[in-house]
Structure 1
Amino acid sequence: MKLLVLNGPNLNRLGKREPDIYGAETLADVEQKLQTIASESFVELFFYQSNSEGALIDKIHEAYDFGYDGIIFNPGAYTHTSIAIRDAIASVDIPVIEIHISNIHSREPFRHTSLIAPVCIGQLSGFGTSGYELALQAFLLRRKGVKL
């Protein structure tokens, strides 16, 4: 199994940016934890973070073109604003799980709507950085044939 872990704007600032909301872990910490789980489960993970909408769209297209089995995606603020990212996900036949470190539904009203969720197989929100691990576990269940 080959998965892309895709992170949008400002996630490169994890550990520094609003630690009261996002915690003290860095993106490198998150990636290391995921890599440990993936190695034990014979999963190849590829990590990519960008603050640019177009670069994220390119990676979504590439994931499909190169035969990835799924995408774990934290689109950051693009969740609420990017029809282009939504359309990119809809344009490829690859399962995507949307994740958010904080609970977007308990924050400011403008964060309550996800343009991305309707084209994803699921959304994890509010579980801290464990959401990444939960998304990986969901893909492992799918590999075993569990319908999610």
Structure 2
Amino acid sequence: MTAPTGQPVEEFLAAVPNESRRADAQRLIALMREVTGEEPVMWGPSIIGFGRYHYRYDSGREGDSALAGFSPRKQHLVVYLVGGFEDRYASALARLGPHKTGKGCLYLKSLDRVDLAVLRELVDRSARVHKGVDRASS
């Protein structure tokens, strides 16, 4: 289970070898800070998270996770969103720009190629679902 580590975010970012990936990470930090009202915290060795929410699965498994978060990986920026976002927010994804999706993950090559207003909408709506404020599926 991933948990906050106490490692300084700036220290982690300084070790990201790709300069454009570091710049995109700084832009995502600003976007997620604004959307969530939370400061960035390292979750595990490579996820920058904002805020916290508690989850409980039907199986009984439960825990805490970041309300919003991302990881500046070598091949992509990985933005973590609410599970099922591909169906839940299909219309927004159609407006986003080049991306790939996986289970709860949005993979972006570069922020310069996507619509940041749409990305902000996706992060905001995902965080609202995690908070239990938004259960809409449009």
TM-score (norm 2): 0.37
TM-score (norm 1): 0.36
Highest relative contact order (Cα 8 Å, sep 6+), 1 or 2?
Answer: 1
Query: Quick check: which one's helix share is greater?
Result: 1
Query: Quick check: which one's strand share is greater?
Result: 2
